[in-house]
Amino acid sequence: MSPASRPAAKAATPSPSWAFSESFVPDDDTMRLARAASRQLALTPASQGVTSALTFFARLINARAVVEIGTGAGVSGLALIRGMAPDGILTSIDLETEHQVAARQIFAAEGVPPRRARLIAGSALNVLPKLSDGAYDMVVVDGDPLEFVEYVDQSQRLLRGGGLLVLHHALWKGLLAEESNEDDETVIIREALQAVQDIEGLTATLLPVGDGLLVAVKA
């Protein structure tokens, strides 16, 4: 089960400042279309704050090769492509072909050439080992939270020096800060965050954007 399809925890009332920052970069028509497609598939898309951050990070490093774990309906992929170099290629992995069909439609609506979006249907843990070492500028994790530790391990191998690892749902519906919470997803995400901190050569920060973004740069 994907994180988007799991029942949501009771969320705290957001502060006005947090809400303002989340909506600071507004959605356009294509992004709204992508969010609507997500809702039709019963998915919860990345927030406006998360999508604007993904575009910013991709633009910051002039990303040309990005791996995305969890295609969804194309919300985060659209955000990444908008920040990537004009010749950049997004490799996006998802178990659900229906999701990728929706994503492909969103990319077409944006005018993205098919060659720039390499959509692979399958298990990320089967696909990632087949990708080349040190060939990627950015790895974005938004897949099964129970596999986050393995995703971190694979990301370290895939990233070039100076590349970025981004983990979405790093605060896991507000539950990560509850020390007494021992739900499987919460425990595994804690382990993934600790794994990032323990890897020599990764410098990380945890941002309270959307459902939490852990961002790490490889030396």
Active site residues: 168
Task: Report the chain's C-alpha Rg in angstroms.
Answer: 16
Q: Which two tokens stand for residue 125?
A: 């843990």
* Spatial distance between the Cα atoms of 37 and 28, rounded to a whole number of angstroms: 14
Question: Please, which residues bridge with residue 168 across strands?
Answer: 213
Buried b (16+ CB within 10 A) or exposed e, 192-211: bbebbeebeebeeebeebbb
| Residue 57 CB contacts under 8 Å (≥ 6 apart), including other chains | 63, 83, 138, 164, 166, 215
Give yes or no for a contact between 57 and 29, defined as CB atoms under 8 angstroms apart: no
Question: Token digits for 157?
Answer: 């191998």
Q: Which residues contact 89 (CB under 8 A, 6 or more apart)?
A: 64, 65, 66, 115, 116, 117, 118
Instruction: State both tokens at 44.
Output: 């919860």
